Amino acid sequence: MFYDVSERAYGAVIYIRYVTHSGLIKTKLLCSKSRVPPLKPLTVPRLELSTPLLLARLMHKSIPVLHLPLEIQSLCSNSQWRHVSSKNNPAVVLSRGADSRDLRDNDLWWQRLEFLVRDIPDPEECPCPKDKIFEKEL
């Protein structure tokens, strides 16, 4: 699951990571959602708070599509959130205002998630200040 935000747009995207019977690790695009910010200007921190909400709503709608048992859903409620740099984050494509032609030919969007097909990576260090980053907005 990835999300990104800019002043032009924000978006979220969900991929499935799975292991085949032969042991290959693969990823597939499950769903995505993008939005343009409201006409009333919002601060970037406020937009940053809107984007995880968009992702959470997308997750809520997509999990039943997979017909996952409720037990699995409850086990996944303690997800880990990690920073992914823009060069590896497919949601950047959405937040930069891509149209369908941009998506069609974008390797990052469709297949270039190499770091997911290896063992789960250590979290990247977030370039933003620790703690209290959104406290003023709340």
Per the rule left: phi > 0, alpha: psi between -120 and 50, beta: everything else, 23 is left
Domain ranges for the chain: 2-116
Question: Which residue do the tokens 């997750």 mark?
Answer: 59
Q: What is the mean pLDDT of residues 57-85?
A: 63
Better-scored residue on pLDDT, 68 or 83: 83
Q: Which residues of 82-92 are buried (b: 16+ CB within 10 A; e: fewer)?
A: eebeeebbbbb
Residue 126 scores a pLDDT above 50:
no
Query: What confidence tens digit (pLDDT) does each residue in 23-44 have?
Result: 888 888 888 898 888 888 778 7
Query: What confidence tens digit (pLDDT) does each residue in 87-107 have?
Result: 778 888 778 877 778 778 887
Residue 114 scores a pLDDT above 80:
no
Residue 14 pLDDT grade (very low, low, confident, very high; cuts 50, 70, 90): confident
Residue 112 pLDDT grade (very low, low, confident, very high; cuts 50, 70, 90): low
Q: What is the mean pLDDT of the chain?
A: 72
Per-range mean pLDDT, top range of 77-81, 120-124, 132-136: 77-81
